[in-house]
Amino acid sequence: MVRLNSKTRPDNKSRPDPASKPALGSVAREVSNGRTTIVLTWDFEQGAASVWSLLTKPESLRAWAPYTADRDLSQVGRVVLTMLGDGDGPDVDVPSVVLVADAPRLLEHSWASDMLAWRLTPVGSGCRLTLHQTLADASMASANAAGWHLCLQVAAAVLAGKHPAPVRGMAAMERGWSELNDGYAAVLGVAPTRLGEVPKTA
């Protein structure tokens, strides 16, 4: 689904066939001013305060996300996000900025040339996370949706008191990233991201 107004939010998320494999999260696509935003929704059994901590504390980020930070993200201002290697490559520092930190409802920050907005809303005794990622490279839409799917699965397990290994780098391939990439591309109405290919230019 394509939304032409970045200020509106999808009101009828595309949902996959329950019999399809693998099961996908709720996802949509917005296009505004030439930039693509993917909108991924994920429900957690825990409340917003617990999920907020997972999104903002460096030690918690390290347990599930592709990056950690040099400080708590609960305050606006400059921050360095460190992309964590998978053992085959080095960590990479990415200077970033936290633009909004409204605990425990909304966190917005840059990530390289992308923008991430994490919105938390109560749902019963748990909460709903809605992630908006505005992409510098629209061809990465399905790749990012697939990657966040795997990361958020780990995040849910961490919040449930388990200790799964974070999914980074080539480990994602062993966890079904390719199938998720194709599945999310179909739902988003885009071509699947083909990593390693040189993007075509006009």
Mean pLDDT, residues 75-104 taken together: 94
Determine the pLDDT at residue 15. Answer: 40
pLDDT tens for 110-151 read 999 999 999 999 999 999 999 999 999 999 999 999 999 999
Residue 2 pLDDT greater than 90, yes or no: no
Percent of the chain with pLDDT over 90: 80
Percent of the chain as helix, strand, coil, to the nearest 5: 30, 35, 40
Residue type, 186: A
pLDDT tens for 161-188 read 999 999 998 889 999 999 999 999 999 9
Question: What radius of gyration, in Å, describes the C-alpha atoms of the chain?
Answer: 16
In order of 36, 62, 190, 201, the CA distances from 194 in angstroms are: 17, 27, 12, 15
Determine the pLDDT at residue 169. Answer: 86
71 in the Ramachandran plot: left (φ > 0), alpha (ψ -120 to 50) or beta?
A: beta
Percent of the chain with pLDDT over 70: 86
Residue 41 pLDDT greater than 90, yes or no: yes
Mean pLDDT, residues 36-65 taken together: 98
- Per the model's pLDDT, the better-predicted residue between 20 and 176 turns out to be 176
Residue 14 pLDDT greater than 50, yes or no: no
Going by pLDDT thresholds of 50, 70 and 90, the confidence category of residue 87 is confident
- Per the model's pLDDT, the better-predicted residue between 14 and 137 turns out to be 137
- Measured from the Cβ of residue 77, the count of other Cβ atoms closer than 10 Å reads 10
Mean pLDDT, residues 21-33 taken together: 90
